[in-house]
Chains A and B, each alone.
Chain A
Amino acid sequence: MKYIFAFIILLGFWLLFTFNLETHNLIVGAVASLIAILFFAKHFVKPVWKMLQPQRYFWFILYLIIFIWECIKANFDVAYRVLHPAMPIKPGIVKVKLNLKTNMAKTILANSITMTPGTISVDLIDDVLYVHWIYVSSTDPEEYSKKVAGRFEKYIKKIFE
């Protein structure tokens, strides 16, 4: 089951990259995908049936819209800090507690945090994410956990868990 899914996804990517549907191209793509899954299928997502639930894709689209909005905001934020003559920065590394369980969800959340305003994830140890923040606005751990991770956590929980 896992191997079939990995094969379909890899072949799909091959066809998108090469962009022709002739027979020889399909055969080369199939052989290449087979060799690739022989080595890497063990790293594929564990419970494959979770990929077939449609409500996850709905939440994913909603999450994507919010994420792109945050991403654009992040860019204007950085541009403002860089171009301001006095450079209003107050950097520091803060600890953020996560409520997520699976590794996949934690990875996606850490990647999202890197793209949001002023934050970049340094390291993930068990449940605690260490975040470098360009403007540490409060010293209360609960408040900044909410500010950094709270925006995405509920969506990622619905998509990946």
Chain B
Amino acid sequence: MSKIIFIILLSIGVLFNLFGCIGLLRLPDVYNRLQSATKCVTLGTCSILLSLIVYYGFNEIGVKALIAIPLLFFAATVAAHALIRGSYFFGIKLGEKSIKDDYKEVAGAAENKESKK
């Protein structure tokens, strides 16, 4: 029984990682690509780690997998924020399909504040 759950969770994880990679190739600009890279890949990897907990039980390896889930979550979200903000300051324009940009008026001031620190 636990082996079936293990295989199902592992398949879901690998499938979502695949969707994330397809999104990375298909979406138009860096901002949309980061969307698929953070969401799909984080949940896919969390699912693979959960399958490890099911397979090994609550012992040395399972506990490490359990701790890795929140660490991965914080690392992925903070990295996405840093990357998206950095690429905006670097001067990469939003893609052609974009319809709204509220960040434009404050980005210059924010960047100046950052460089003064």
Contacts and interface: CB of A to CB of B under 8 A. Distances in A.
Interface of A: 13, 16-17, 19, 71-72, 74-75, 78-79, 81-83, 87, 89-95, 110-111, 114-115, 118, 120-123, 125, 130, 132, 134, 136, 139
Given A75-B16, A111-B74, A115-B42, A92 B94 contact: yes
B99 A123 contact: no
Q: Top 8 A-B pairs ranked by shortest CB distance?
A: A92-B100, A82-B23, A95-B102, A111-B77, A114-B77, A79-B19, A19-B60, A93-B103
B84 interface: yes
A134 B35 contact: yes
Nearest to A128: B106
B35 A75 contact: no
Interface string B82-99: 001100100000110111
Nearest to B61: A19
A87 B102 contact: no
Among A91, A115, A134, max chain B CB count under 10 A is at A91
Contact of A120 (B44, B80, B110): B80
Contact of B36 (A82, A110, A114): A82
B1 interface: no
Given A16-B63, A132-B35, A122 B27 contact: no
B62 to A, nearest CB: 10
A132 B28 CA distance: 14
